Structure 1
Amino acid sequence: MAQTLEQALADFSPGLPFAVALSGGADSTALLLACARRWPGQVRAVHIHHGLQAAADDFERHCRVLCLALQVPLVVRRVQARHAPGQSPEDAARQARYASLAEAVLNDWPEVRDVALAQHADDQVETLLIALSRGAGLPGLASMPAHWQRLGLHWHRPCLAMPSLALRQWLQRQGQSWIEDPSNTNESFTRNRIRARILPVLAETLPAFRETFSRSAAHAAQAQEVLDEVAAQDLALVGVPPRIQALQQLSRARQSLVLRHWLRQHHAATPSTAQLHELLDQLAACTTRGHRLHIKVGQGFMAREAQRLVWHSTAAQS
């Protein structure tokens, strides 16, 4: 059974004071209003103005009016997110949004260390389905965590068990308006097609799909935590950068695991499945001192230097 907003906040224990990421849409409007009522005087708001659509100014105006009425301090940041080659505009905007949110909180409210985001159960299902469509592994299937640390802050998603409709119905009962994002009806975006076409069918066929899908994502996240621990232990054994001979003592599956972990933790690089398979094949063939290795991995390349694997960024050379 889906939570109510009051139940969701009863399970939410942020450090005080804390900030809410406020877009001006229904979800974040509901979250800010409920938080301001539950923790009066302890809530701050940050609005990120992307300038990506004509309605952006309407979102900002709504946020200013709402925060003035609630007596919630508001900071507005403007960002222009440019996507790199091969990166989607949505991913670029998301990364720019998080960076700008963190910068605003840390600069304007140094006493704040917690940020609440308004993603809900429908967002979680959409994220899981997109991950499945891309053939993602456990990190992708784990979808969105309810709590994590990044950029010096604690991030929270207290509404992950609530359907979008429940948030909108709650707002209507409060007599509170919001700004509707016109891009939500643009079905050129995969997430919008899932929302418009797939979620209604799932609701009819599998009425409890939000709860069961969320539970599967939580199981994947728990399994990934165990694998991260194993990868960290293996990386301590093979060294940084990894020693080829030490890697070869591991099974192919653990080689894959530790190499992904090393690249992610030390180089913020993510190899594709094809790149990783080629790398593992080449690693198995490294049986002589003179064997050379040069494979594209992420936005860089992997090479053999002496008895170790090293990764070089091509972006740093351009």
Structure 2
Amino acid sequence: MAASPTPRPNLPDPDGNPAASSLAGLQLPLPLAVAYSGGADSTVLLLAAARRWPGQVQAIHVHHGLQDAADGFEDHCRSTCAALSVPLQVRRVHARHASGESPEEVARTARYQALARAAREAGLHAVLLAQHADDQVETLLLALSRGAGLPGLAAMPPVFQREGMVFVRPLLLLSAQAIRAWLREQGIAVVEDPTNADTAFTRNRIRHLLLPALAECFPQYRETFARSSRHAAQAQDLLETVAEEDLARMGGTPAITALQMLPRARQANVLRHWLRKAHAASASAAQLEELLDQVADCRTRGHRIRIKVGAGFVQRQGERLQYGADLSV
């Protein structure tokens, strides 16, 4: 017996969509896409975007293939987009992680690559993501738990570029409660990812156990945490500017003598910036401290520097530092 088609959803009353006000003042390059999972957050975003820019919005659904329910998610997305007359692209990705890799990071990377590629091929100029205020708080708390610096404490930026595409998060000031309350009021069906209830994942433990406690103790925590993240982002922007100026004075790559003339904290700032921007590498706190010690001790021509960072090595080449394969082999 053939499977019954997924029922076409009733179109909601557009008034009152909490995502609408988040999009009202945005001036974005058109046409654009919404990353659409079929869940609550991306549903309110898609509905608001389709109304804000009629005929200029497409949806992109990434099928990770990591759980049995994934095919049902795709069917739901197709049905909703058909009812809205919004074109839909479905991209299937291989997001299985290897030993030692973070499954969340592997899935995230695959998702961004798929979204950017689909948007470029369709001639779209931006992709809207549906992360909201609760997601931002979870990201900040995860960063704090890992002892992150300013980039981590800045949490998720509202606008960024990745894989050659502009990504925008317009809902970062909107709570999950407001989103779900409106969906219930409108009787809008959404997909529920069963893994979201699995407290084996740290982010889910934060969502289900910690956020309710925060709400009880600090009712305005979303707003105050967001303010702290904005302060961290502003401070990080300033540090990036200083690092770029210091590196430019060195000719674009770290020079040992010039580094030694800077305070240690400023040396660290330059080296972190150089590794991240020029080589997409990130040194741990211990690796960076070791590198700074080696730079401080580098007073003779024969002094070697060789520090493992990420997939490569920071090594001395004459009076400069370079990053890449191990030169000693």
Same fold (TM over 0.5): yes
Residue in structure 2 matched with residue 306 of structure 1 by the alignment = 318
Q: Which runs of 5+ in 1 are unaligned?
A: none
Taking structure 2 as the reference length, the TM-score comes to: 0.91
1:79 to 83, 93, 109: 93
- 75 and 313 in structure 1: CA distance in 2 versus 1, 3 angstrom threshold: farther
1:233 to 239, 245, 252: 245
Q: In the TM superposition, what whole-angstrom CA distance separates every residue of 1:58-82 from its partner, at most 9, and x where no partner exists?
A: 1111110011110001111110124
Q: In the TM superposition, what whole-angstrom CA distance separates every residue of 1:84-124 from its partner, at most 9, and x where no partner exists?
A: 554311011101100110000101x21x2111100000000
Percent of paired sites with the same residue: 61
- In structure 1, what is the Cα distance between the partners aligned to 2:105 and 2:144? 17
User: Residues 124 and 144 of structure 1 are in contact (CA less than 8 Å); yes or no, is this contact kept in structure 2?
Assistant: yes
Check if 1:151 corresponds to 2:178.
Answer: no
Check if 1:45 corresponds to 2:56.
Answer: no
1:69 to 83, 86, 90: 83
- In structure 2, what is the Cα distance between the partners aligned to 1:194 and 1:11? 32
Q: In the TM superposition, what whole-angstrom CA distance separates every residue of 1:166-193 from its partner, at most 9, and x where no partner exists?
A: 1111222232110001000111111000
The 3-state SS of whatever aligns with 1:47 is strand
- 158 and 190 in structure 1: CA distance in 2 versus 1, 3 angstrom threshold: same
Q: Tell me the number of residue pairs that the alignment of Structure 1 and Structure 2 aligns.
A: 310
User: Residues 113 and 152 of structure 1 are in contact (CA less than 8 Å); yes or no, is this contact kept in structure 2?
Assistant: no
Q: Which amino acid counterpart does residue 20 of structure 2 have in structure 1?
A: E
The 3-state SS of whatever aligns with 1:223 is helix
- In structure 2, what is the Cα distance between the partners aligned to 1:313 and 1:220? 34
Check if 1:114 corresponds to 2:120.
Answer: no
Residue correspondence of structure 1 range 272-311 to structure 2 within 5 A? 272-311=284-323
- In structure 1, what is the Cα distance between the partners aligned to 2:22 and 2:253? 44
Check if 1:164 corresponds to 2:214.
Answer: no
- In structure 2, what is the Cα distance between the partners aligned to 1:228 and 1:273? 18
1:153 to partner: Cα distance: 2.1
- In structure 2, what is the Cα distance between the partners aligned to 1:149 and 1:304? 32
- In structure 2, what is the Cα distance between the partners aligned to 1:234 and 1:83? 38
Q: Which stretch of the first structure deviates more once superposed, 242-251 or 133-142?
A: 242-251
Residue in structure 2 matched with residue 135 of structure 1 by the alignment = 147
1:102 to 116, 119, 139: 116
1:156 to partner: Cα distance: 0.8
The 3-state SS of whatever aligns with 2:173 is coil
Residue in structure 2 matched with residue 220 of structure 1 by the alignment = 232
